[in-house]
Each structure stands twice: as structure tokens, then as C-alpha cells.
Structure 1
Amino acid sequence: MTKRDAIFPAGRQALYDINRYSAAIRSGDLLFVSGQVGSREDGSPEPDFEKQVELAFANLRKVLAAAGASFGDVVDVTTFHTDPATQFGIVKEVRFREIGEAPYPNWTAVGVTWLSGFDFEIKVIARLPQATSA
């Protein structure tokens, strides 16, 4: 079995160690990012929903950056929502600010009943940029 190439953003390793999972796994030129939530520095949920979504995207951005990627490299997105009917407008606003111009990644939104105290979670798959040699 090939050893997992785990990716962690700076400063949050302890939160992943406590829960025993990796922020992302690099496999060839693909990056599989674990679900990111709107947690504050101590790992607790941000109570304001819009800020929670913004923090989830910020945490995702940090994981992507740790692997040398950005939102422009994302090809697949799955989001989880505890109350999609009332939350989706806010999620769309934040998403449009973060994801950028077309072509957009494909997107699947799933309504769920439990996210460990959070109301939004986002996970992605990204194709890592190829290193260019001079």
C-alpha cells in the first residue's frame, strides 16, 4: 500500500490530531480535502451562520494553499447543510465571492441533520497545478 501524503495547514495540526484525520491527502496530481467547517481557532463552531460559511471557505483556502493549490484548481465540491431551504442564499453569496469566474467546478449540495455542532461543511477535490521547470 502506498503511504498517504497528508497535507495540513499551518497552525491547525492539533485539531486534526485530536480527531485523527488529515486535512487533505495528495494522490498523484489530485488533492482530496476533508470536510471543512466554520470553526474558530479553538475548533469551536462560529455561531453566526454567514461567518461560519466564510470561515469554512477560509479554512478550505488554507488547506488548498498548503498543497500549492487554490480555488481555481477545484474540480469537485460537495457541501452539507443542516437547513438548506433557509441557508442556501447565504451559501451562494459566499460561494460566488470565493470560487471566482467560470468555468465553475461541479457542485453537489446535501441536506443533513447533524454536523457535530456546525451548520455547514464543504469538501472538495482539486487537481494540483503542475510544477513548471525553467
Structure 2
Amino acid sequence: MAKRDAIFPAGRQALYEINRYSAAIRSGNLLFVSGQVGSRDNGSAEPVFEKQVQLAFDNLAAVLTAAGCTFDDVVDVTTFHTDPAQQWEAIKTVRRKVIGDPPYPNWTAVGVNWLAGFDFEIKVIARIPQSS
């Protein structure tokens, strides 16, 4: 069996090592990105919700970049929310800045009651562009 082809953004691998998971796994021309949260460099949660969402998208962008991808390569998105009804407008604001023009990726939003001290998490599947 082939080893997993793990992808890590620069400077954050220690956080993944502590929790024993990879930021992303490359499989063929697909990239499966683990859930990204609005964590600061030390792993703590950003307390301001809007900033937490932006930081989660920033952390996701770093993983995508490490794999040679951008948000334009994302085909499937799943987000997790601790209070979807109250949080959705703030999430939409960040989402509009980050996700480009149509066609948009698939998107599934799930309400949850626990995210290890966070209020928002985003995971994606992206296609890895063919190198020229």
C-alpha cells in the first residue's frame, strides 16, 4: 500500500503533529483538506467570530497554496457551525470575498454543538491543477 502523500502549510506542521493528523492528503489529482478552523499560530481560537471565520479561510488558503492550488480549484466544501442561524451572515461576508466567480463549488453547511473550542470549521476537496 502506498504511503499517504501529506501536505502541510509552512510553519504550522507542529500543530498537526500534536493532534496527529495531516493538513491535507493528495490522492491522484485530488486534494482532501482536513477541517480548518480559525486558530492562531499557537493553536488557540480567535475569540471574535468574524475574525475566526476569516482566519479559518486564511488557514485553508495556506494549505491549498502548499499543494499548488487556489480557491478556484475547490470543488466541494463542507462547513460546520455551532450556531448557523446567528453566524450565517458573517460567514457569507467572508465567503463572498474568497470564493470567486461562478460556477461555485458544492457547499454543505452542518450545524454542530461542539468544535473543540471553535465556532466554525471548513473542509474542502480540490482538484490539483496539471503542471505545465
TM-score by length of 1: 0.98
1:77 aligned partner: 77
Aligned-partner SS, 1:72: helix
C-alpha distance in 2 between matches for 1:2 and 1:18: 24
> Does residue 1:122 correspond to 2:131, yes or no?
no
Aligned positions of 1:1-134 closer than 5 A: 1-132=1-132
Cα deviation, 1:70-116, whole Å, max 9, x if unaligned, reads: 00000000000000000001101100100111110000000000000
Structure 1 runs of 4+ with >2 Å offset: none
Report % sequence identity. Answer: 77
Deviation, structure 1 residue 127: 0.3
Q: C-alpha displacement at 1:39, in angstroms?
A: 0.3
Q: Distance in 1 between matches of 2:54 and 2:37?
A: 9
Could you tell me how far apart the structure 2 residues matched to 1:76 and 1:19 are? 24
CA deviation string 1:43-88 (max 9, x = no partner): 0000000000000000000000000000000000000000000000
Structure 2, gaps ≥5 residues long: none
Superposed CA RMSD in Å reads 0.4
CA offset at residue 2 of structure 1? 1.6
